[in-house]
Amino acid sequence: MNEKDSNPTEKKDNQENADQKPVSHGRREAIKALATVPVLGAMAYGVYRKRKQEMRNLTSADMFHFKSEVAPLSPLSADGRIIRLGIIGSGIRGKQLMIALGFGTPEYVERLIQGQKQNSSDNRFKDFREQEDLKIVITAICDIFDVHAEEAISAGANIHREGLNGKYGTAPRRYHHYRELLAAEDVDAVVIASPDHWHGQMALDAARAGKHVYLEKPMTWTVPETYALRSAVKESGIIFQLGHQNRQVEAYGRAREIVAKGLLGPVSLIETGTNRNDPNGAWVYKIHPDASPETIDWQQFEGDPERVKEYMDYMTSSGLAKYVGPEPRDKFSLERFFRWRCWWDYSTGLSGDLLTHEYDAMNQIMHLGIPSSATSSGGVYFFRDGRTVPDVLQTAFEYAHKGLTMLYSATLASQFNRSRKIMGHDATMEVGNTLTVTIDPRSEQYRDKINNGTIKPGQPFYHYVPGKSIDAVTSATELYFAERGLLYSYVDGKRYNTTYLHLREWLECIRNGEQPSCDIDRGFEEAITAHMGTRAYLEGRTMYWDPEKEEITRG
Amino acid sequence: MNQCNYSKGQLSVLVTLRVLIGWYFLYEGLVKLLSPRWTAYGYLMDSKGVFAPLYKMIAGNPDLMAAADFINMWGLLLVGLFLIMGLFEKTGYIGAILFLVLYYLSHPPLLQATYLLPTEGSYLWVDKNLVMLGAVAVLFFFPTAKKIGMDRIICKNKSK
């Protein structure tokens, strides 16, 4: 500030003041200079009061105190040997799995590159390129549709993740029958993404051939093969992972802790479901223009004779012939080849495709195991396109020994969002990518805190947001962003694809000889549970589980 | 720089306005400082309008994001302190204007834009950030800290 900047009038005033009242002048100056500073004190007091109140409200931090943060991704083992993979089935899901492993066709990568060029905030190409190298090589491919096989070969050779006209590596060898692939010496492990009716048999043959297995869900198509597969996996000692990638959802780990600590009180009801509303979601997939009897090995598609016999024996002996076909199994059909999920002849319906994911999520959190009984209802109500599997399904699984019911409710003709709820006597937890716990107004465990006003029942009391260390989200803003996945993807530094994490876990277990999270025992529980639901629907009566004999019975 | 001769009423409302805006900034900064792991990531990723790619680029880069969080937290706090205390008044106003412009450009109330966070009012082209920006601009041209504020001491010391 220059001399000339000061106000001459003020200066004169000050001069006069100084002459007249030298003592009070300084005080007045100080008052004028510091007049607004007490405002800071007011704010400090306000912030102190507010924090104190928040701390009282945030007893969730005490009550929901957890020892550890969910473990971050551990690095790949240093001495990681290269694992040679065979891919069996490279249709829609098979290609997704290859992409998760880091192998996309040049056409796919080119689309990502163009996407980034058109929209700089489209990070898919960058993410794909930067995805960690899992130290694998794809040496073998088997698909019975030539186009899918060729695509998988070009993806397998695209080792540098390049677009069109890039530099590619050695192309994997194509096998026309999966058993030839399983006999190949340069295959250590297989990823199986075939239609449901082949799952159990292919995994069984792979285990017998000593190949490690990553198998898409559901684990099996028939009940008998479920037992056979479990034995084969255990006897062979291979590393088996069932493709429930939701095992990798970070929030589920914390949800498990909340249940284990009894914070929900006794749980009596679990509600899960599926809502979809488009033809693709209802399995009306596109039919490839190049598909024909010449490009598809229909005979292999029909299935393993032994498994087909098991299926037919069950269907005919239980009076379910109306659900078989309706077309003969040996008749070539493009619809049945591409939309096989719509017919029991190849499919496990909603139970196998989508109920299994919901069940496995709850099995992770609640350690449910196999239910004591299952009852189902539903029908083909919307997609009346000749399918035999229902598009609306309700299944109630009773866990009589645990005193709870798990309800699964699905429609393929409404996309309304319903959250998964675990309902306890003291609180209810909604489970998604985030967790929300709401205290019950009639809770006994929290009665004191409800009475003294610390807990407002009926309102969300605790939120868990993956990647955040605090156990209570402090503002509505955070919750908004978190629920939309905007918060944790940053804290993690990267947005991880759960399928990638699930495959990674399996590969690491192969290297370390450990068991992955969705091993054969969890797979057995998943398969039997789904079969109980399916049979209850088909037969129109309750199915029971005899844990001693390990058998599904009709009571 | 000339500080006008205000009437008592003028001086009172101008100082009050300065303190109110300062309070707003200071508290926003404090809240962020006191929230563990607070980050503007979600806010930046929710940007709309012509500058959205720039904000998202910042959010996408962990180093830039860390810098943006740091600047926000401490910048808001400092601006708030300056305005309330009447210290380095003009610097405070310039800082406030910079922040408000950045917020406005990140979340412009456009015809088509909808944001994750619901607003407490209804806005078209003009929102509260812009209104506050106007108020800060007024204060910039009608400064008060050399009359009521710690700049008075600095000013006196310098003029000695």
Domain residue limits at A313: 248-508+517-553
Find residue A420's DSSP bridge partners. Answer: A431
Q: Which residues of A touch B (CB under 8 A)?
A: 1-3, 5-7, 9, 29, 32-37, 39-40, 43, 47, 51, 120-121, 123, 468-470, 474-478, 480-482, 484, 486-487, 490-491, 493
Q: Do A171 and A285 have their domain in common? A: no
Contacts of B155 in chain A (CB under 8 A): 1, 5-6
Q: Do A240 and A253 have their domain in common? A: no
Collapsing DSSP to helix, strand or coil, A333 comes out as: coil
Contact between B19 and A40 using a beta-carbon 8 Å cutoff = no
Would residue A162 count as lying in a domain? yes
The residues, ordered by sequence, that sit 6+ positions from A23 with a Cβ below 8 Å of its Cβ are: none
Contacts of A51 in chain B (CB under 8 A): 34
Please check the confidence at residue A392 and state whether its pLDDT lies above 60.
yes
The residues, ordered by sequence, that sit 6+ positions from A151 with a Cβ below 8 Å of its Cβ are: A90, A95, A105
Q: Which of A161, A256, A250, A257 is nearest to A495 (CA)?
A: A250
- The rounded distance, in Å, linking the Cα atoms of A368 and A442 is 26
As a residue count, chain B comes to 160
Residue tagged 């309008």 (tokens): B49
Q: Do A235 and A256 have their domain in common? A: no
Q: Which of A156, A161, A157 is nearest to A130 (CA)?
A: A161
Would residue A27 count as lying in a domain? no
DSSP letter string, A66-84: -SSPPPPPPPPPTT---EE
pLDDT tens string B103-132: 999 999 988 777 767 677 888 899 999 999
Q: Do A486 and A463 have their domain in common? A: yes
Q: Locate B137 and state its tokens.
A: 């601009």
Would residue A202 count as lying in a domain? yes
Q: Determine the average pLDDT of the residues in A478-507.
A: 63
- The rounded distance, in Å, linking the Cα atoms of A217 and A244 is 7
Would residue A387 count as lying in a domain? yes
Domain residue limits at B144: 8-159
CB atoms within 10 A of CB A95: 22
Q: What pLDDT does A65 receive?
A: 66
Radius of gyration of chain B (CA): 17
Contact between B23 and A43 using a beta-carbon 8 Å cutoff = yes
Nearest C-alpha of chain B: how many angstroms from A42? 10
Would residue B143 count as lying in a domain? yes
- The rounded distance, in Å, linking the Cα atoms of A347 and A247 is 23
Nearest to B155 among A1, A51, A468 (CB): A1
Element (H, E) at A87: strand A83-88
Would residue A445 count as lying in a domain? yes
Q: Do A284 and A229 have their domain in common? A: no
Nearest C-alpha of chain B: how many angstroms from A513? 36
Integer distance in angstroms from the first to the last C-alpha of chain B? 17
pTM (predicted TM-score): 0.77
Q: Locate A330 and state its tokens.
A: 């040996």
Q: Is residue A186 a contact partner of residue A507, using CB atoms and an 8 Å limit?
A: no
Q: Do A279 and A218 have their domain in common? A: no
- The rounded distance, in Å, linking the Cα atoms of A57 and A455 is 7
Confidence of residue A483 (pLDDT cuts 50, 70, 90): low
pLDDT tens string A58-76: 555 566 666 555 556 777 8
Contacts of B42 in chain A (CB under 8 A): 477-478, 480-482, 484, 486-487, 490
Contact between B85 and A469 using a beta-carbon 8 Å cutoff = no
pLDDT tens string A70-125: 556 777 877 778 999 999 999 999 999 999 999 999 999 999 999 888 887 777 88
Would residue B132 count as lying in a domain? yes
Nearest to B116 among A7, A474, A480 (CB): A480
Q: Do A104 and A130 have their domain in common? A: yes
Contact between A7 and B3 using a beta-carbon 8 Å cutoff = yes
Q: Do A241 and A265 have their domain in common? A: no
Give the domain-ending residue among A210, A227, A247.
A247
Give the domain-ending residue among A195, A224, A247.
A247
- The rounded distance, in Å, linking the Cα atoms of A518 and A240 is 8
Overall domain count for chain B: 1
Nearest to A487 among B1, B41, B86 (CB): B41
Sign of the dihedral defined by the CA atoms of residues A324, A329, A334, A340, in that order: positive
Confidence of residue A5 (pLDDT cuts 50, 70, 90): very low
DSSP state of A456: -
Give the domain-ending residue among A229, A247, A265.
A247
Q: Determine the average pLDDT of the residues in A130-159.
A: 95
Q: A527: domain CATH number? A: 3.30.360.10
Nearest to B86 among A3, A36, A47 (CB): A36
Nearest to A121 among B42, B53, B147 (CB): B53
Contact between B41 and A490 using a beta-carbon 8 Å cutoff = yes
Would residue B125 count as lying in a domain? yes
Nearest C-alpha of chain B: how many angstroms from A271? 28
Would residue B1 count as lying in a domain? no
The residues, ordered by sequence, that sit 6+ positions from A124 with a Cβ below 8 Å of its Cβ are: A112, A115, A116
Q: What pLDDT does B156 receive?
A: 78
Q: Determine the average pLDDT of the residues in A454-471.
A: 69
pLDDT tens string B22-47: 999 999 999 898 876 688 888 888 89
Contacts of B160 in chain A (CB under 8 A): none
Nearest C-alpha of chain B: how many angstroms from A118? 12
Element (H, E) at A40: helix A38-57
Confidence of residue A150 (pLDDT cuts 50, 70, 90): very high
Would residue B139 count as lying in a domain? yes
- Residue A250, φ and ψ in degrees, nearest 5: -60, -40
Please check the confidence at residue A494 and state whether its pLDDT lies above 80.
no
The residues, ordered by sequence, that sit 6+ positions from A51 with a Cβ below 8 Å of its Cβ are: B34
Q: Angle at CA B44, nearest 5°, toward B38 and B46?
A: 115
Contact between A33 and B149 using a beta-carbon 8 Å cutoff = yes
Q: Is residue B87 a contact partner of residue B145, using CB atoms and an 8 Å limit?
A: yes
Would residue B88 count as lying in a domain? yes
Nearest C-alpha of chain B: how many angstroms from A3? 5
Give me the percent of chain A exceeding a pLDDT of 90. Answer: 67
Would residue B2 count as lying in a domain? no
Would residue A219 count as lying in a domain? yes
Q: Do A255 and A372 have their domain in common? A: yes
DSSP state of A354: I
Q: Is residue A33 a contact partner of residue A431, using CB atoms and an 8 Å limit?
A: no
DSSP state of A106: H
Q: Do strands A189-192 and A83-88 pair parallel, antiparallel, or not at all (unpaired)?
A: parallel
Would residue B128 count as lying in a domain? yes
Q: Which of A153, A166, A394, A129 is nearest to A275 (CA)?
A: A394
Contacts of A474 in chain B (CB under 8 A): 35
Collapsing DSSP to helix, strand or coil, B35 comes out as: coil
- The rounded distance, in Å, linking the Cα atoms of B141 and A93 is 65
Q: Determine the average pLDDT of the residues in A21-31.
A: 76
Most confident of A353-357, A470-474, B13-17: B13-17
Contact between B150 and A34 using a beta-carbon 8 Å cutoff = yes
Largest CA distance in chain B: 57
pLDDT, chain A, mean:
87
Pairs of residues, one from chain A and one from chain B, whose beta carbons lie less than 8 Å apart: 113
Q: Nearest residue on chain A to B84, judged by CA atoms?
A: A36
The residues, ordered by sequence, that sit 6+ positions from A512 with a Cβ below 8 Å of its Cβ are: A77
Q: Do A243 and A265 have their domain in common? A: no
- Residue A545, φ and ψ in degrees, nearest 5: -115, 125
Overall domain count for chain A: 2
- The rounded distance, in Å, linking the Cα atoms of A122 and A100 is 18
Contact between A490 and B148 using a beta-carbon 8 Å cutoff = no
- The rounded distance, in Å, linking the Cα atoms of A129 and A110 is 12
Nearest C-alpha of chain B: how many angstroms from A33? 4
Q: Nearest residue on chain A to B77, judged by CA atoms?
A: A40
Nearest C-alpha of chain A: how many angstroms from B32? 11
Would residue A88 count as lying in a domain? yes
Nearest to A487 among B19, B42, B52 (CB): B42
Q: Do A240 and A272 have their domain in common? A: no
Q: Is residue A206 a contact partner of residue A229, using CB atoms and an 8 Å limit?
A: no
Collapsing DSSP to helix, strand or coil, A11 comes out as: helix
pLDDT tens string A330-350: 999 999 999 999 999 999 999
Q: Do A239 and A297 have their domain in common? A: no
Q: What pLDDT does A454 receive?
A: 76
Nearest C-alpha of chain B: how many angstroms from A20? 19
